């Protein structure tokens, strides 16, 4: 199959799940092109992107709104340069529509550029609803009638406080899209509130490369917790600090490592000073995948005490880091909000705990700290669980079953 994976930005440090999926398609023997609206920073280049030369598969969007005549000239030159790849039936149909159309010609040309200078795709897999809306224009071309458009929703594109807005925003997408993928039953329930009668919705989590996420023989730091995620309200990094503080009050030299950046960072550092936790909490900033591996090998427990956002009602929809930690042999402690609870076996690979219950989180962590046998068994069971349910090979097979 020829597959186009369409994203807002590539590469981006926070969306390794997209890289995982692209590699899954490539490793399954399919031809993949990455269509990106914006180029990411060089700092977002994960080792897997370089090792697999993924940048050679990327085609970036050209805006025609500024200097439109130069942009159109560049487009024509691109047609000439890539002449043997040009989809001539679609090009001729596009030219016909441009002559026939009285307005929005530039927008049509802009949004069809990818599909004219490429051979026809069998599948266009768009990540996030607004991105799928942009590429939906190809469904109006008869020469592309066999190209299927699948949309993966991930969370911000289906906010609980935007149900009515999304009914209108995605009306055309729901009518003309070929399939919709959500990562957990929680996100599916939100989609059903937006459009409840869709019969082409599939619940498939995002996966990971279990050969890269595997425990190594590194001695873990005693009494160590790891938080990994953007520093925003719904991820509740402040609760992670309060949980560590509760443990410290038991006269235990707990360590909390925080991976991530975000708007809460300064407030979190102030909270550490207020609770006298400055020397017990390490702020590691945004980390590449390789650094995340290192810290998952060094720490004993992953803690993700997410909450429902007080303004939007949003919650974590899956939290791939929860599966990554389990693949690394770490027990995980998560709250019962959103979709996190679907990504582990509570009592066997970690614990699902009540939202905002600092004491229960702390006591569960203490139990695992003091019980090495239980902690090790949970870590072993966690890796088996991920191998059987979240490997990228398995997730790729699920995608092609619906494709």
Cα–Cα distance for residue pair 331/303, rounded to 1 Å: 9
Residue 352 has pLDDT above 90, yes or no: yes
Q: For residue 317, what is the DSSP state?
A: S
In whole numbers, what is the pLDDT of the chain averaged over residues? 94
Question: Taking residues 253-263, what's their average pLDDT?
Answer: 97
C-alpha closest to that of 240 among 286, 274, 271? 271
Q: For the chain, what are the domain ranges? A: 2-208+392-402, 224-389
Q: Which residues pair with 226 in a beta bridge?
A: 257, 302
Per the structure block, which two tokens stand in for 215?
């425990």
The reply to whether domains 2-208+392-402 and 224-389 share a CATH topology is yes
Residue 259: Cβ-neighbour burial (10 angstroms; 0-12, 13-18, 19+): buried
Q: CATH says 2-208+392-402 is which class?
A: alpha beta
Cα–Cα distance for residue pair 55/390, rounded to 1 Å: 25
Question: Taking residues 61-78, what's their average pLDDT?
Answer: 79
pLDDT of residue 106: 81
Cα–Cα distance for residue pair 75/109, rounded to 1 Å: 9
User: In which band, very low, low, confident or very high, does the pLDDT at 81 lie, cut at 50, 70 and 90?
Assistant: confident
Give SS3 for 191. helix
Mind listing the pLDDT tens digit for each residue in 111-138? 899 999 999 999 999 999 999 999 999 9
| Percent of the chain whose pLDDT exceeds 70 | 99
**How many helices (H) and strands (E) are present in the chain, helices listed first?**
16, 13
pLDDT of residue 45: 67
Question: Taking residues 52-80, what's their average pLDDT?
Answer: 83
C-alpha closest to that of 222 among 280, 277, 169, 291? 280
Q: Are the C-beta atoms of residues 29 and 2 closer than 8 Å to each other?
A: no
Check: CATH 3.40.50.10470 for 224-389? no
- Chain center to CA of 53: 20
Q: Are the C-beta atoms of residues 234 and 314 closer than 8 Å to each other?
A: yes
Q: Which of 101-105, 194-198, 208-212, 344-348 is the least confident region?
A: 101-105
Mind listing the pLDDT tens digit for each residue in 173-189? 999 999 999 999 999 99
Looking at mean pLDDT, say which of 97-101, 104-108, 176-180 comes out highest.
176-180
Sheet containing 123-127: give its strands across.
58-60, 31-39, 2-10, 123-127, 148-152, 179-182, 201-203
Q: Are the C-beta atoms of residues 21 and 391 closer than 8 Å to each other?
A: no
CA-to-CA dists, residue 265 to 232, 236, 302, 303, angstroms: 9, 12, 19, 17
Per the structure block, which two tokens stand in for 60?
């970036």
Residue 65: Cβ-neighbour burial (10 angstroms; 0-12, 13-18, 19+): exposed
Residue 105 has pLDDT above 90, yes or no: no
Give SS3 for 220. coil
Residue 23 has pLDDT above 70, yes or no: yes
Alpha helix ranges (H) inside 58-147 = 68-81, 88-100, 105-116, 129-135
pLDDT of residue 207: 96
Mind listing the pLDDT tens digit for each residue in 260-319? 999 999 999 999 999 999 999 999 999 988 899 999 999 999 999 999 999 999 999 999
pLDDT of residue 70: 78
Question: Taking residues 63-72, what's their average pLDDT?
Answer: 75
Q: Are the C-beta atoms of residues 344 and 382 closer than 8 Å to each other?
A: yes
Give SS3 for 285. strand
C-alpha closest to that of 4 among 46, 63, 57, 78? 57
C-alpha closest to that of 112 among 66, 147, 69? 147
pLDDT of residue 102: 64
């Amino acid at each position: 199959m020829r597959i186009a994976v369409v994203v807002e930005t590539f590469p981006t440090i926070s969306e390794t799940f997209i890289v995982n999926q692209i590699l899954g398609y490539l490793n399954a023997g399919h031809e993949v092109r990455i269509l990106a609206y914006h180029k990411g920073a060089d700092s977002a280049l994960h080792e897997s992107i370089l090792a697999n030369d993924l940048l050679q598969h990327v085609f970036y969007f050209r805006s025609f709104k500024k200097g439109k005549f130069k942009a159109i000239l560049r487009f024509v030159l691109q047609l000439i340069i890539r002449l043997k790849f040009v989809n001539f039936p679609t090009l001729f149909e596009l030219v016909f529509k441009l002559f026939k159309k009285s307005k929005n010609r530039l927008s049509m040309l802009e949004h069809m550029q990818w599909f004219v200078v490429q051979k026809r795709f069998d599948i266009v897999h768009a990540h996030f609803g607004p991105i799928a809306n942009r590429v939906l224009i190809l469904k109006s071309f008869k020469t592309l009638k066999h190209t299927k458009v699948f949309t993966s929703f991930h969370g911000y594109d289906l906010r609980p406080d935007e149900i009515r807005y999304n009914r209108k925003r995605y009306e055309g997408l729901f009518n003309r899209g070929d399939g919709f993928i959500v990562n957990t039953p929680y996100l599916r329930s939100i989609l059903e509130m937006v459009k409840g009668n869709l019969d082409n919705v599939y619940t498939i989590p995002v996966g990971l490369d279990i050969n890269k996420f595997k425990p190594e023989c590194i001695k873990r730091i005693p009494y160590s917790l790891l938080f990994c995620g953007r520093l925003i309200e719904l991820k509740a990094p402040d609760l992670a600090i309060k949980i560590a503080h509760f443990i410290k009050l038991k006269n235990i030299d707990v360590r909390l490592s925080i991976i991530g950046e975000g708007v809460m960072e300064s407030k979190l550092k102030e909270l550490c000073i207020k609770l006298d936790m400055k020397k017990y909490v390490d702020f590691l900033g945004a980390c590449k995948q390789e650094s995340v591996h290192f810290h998952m090998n060094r720490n004993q427990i992953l803690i993700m005490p997410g909450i429902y956002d007080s303004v939007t009602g949003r919650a974590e929809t899956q939290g791939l880091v929860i599966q990554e930690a389990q693949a690394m042999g770490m027990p995980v402690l998560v709250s019962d909000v959103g979709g996190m609870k679907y990504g582990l076996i509570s009592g066997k690979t970690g614990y699902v705990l009540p939202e905002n219950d600092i004491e229960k989180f702390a006591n569960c962590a203490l139990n695992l700290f003091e019980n090495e046998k239980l902690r090790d068994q949970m870590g072993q069971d966690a890796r088996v669980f991920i191998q059987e349910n979240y490997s990228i090979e398995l997730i790729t097979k699920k995608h092609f079953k619906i494709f």
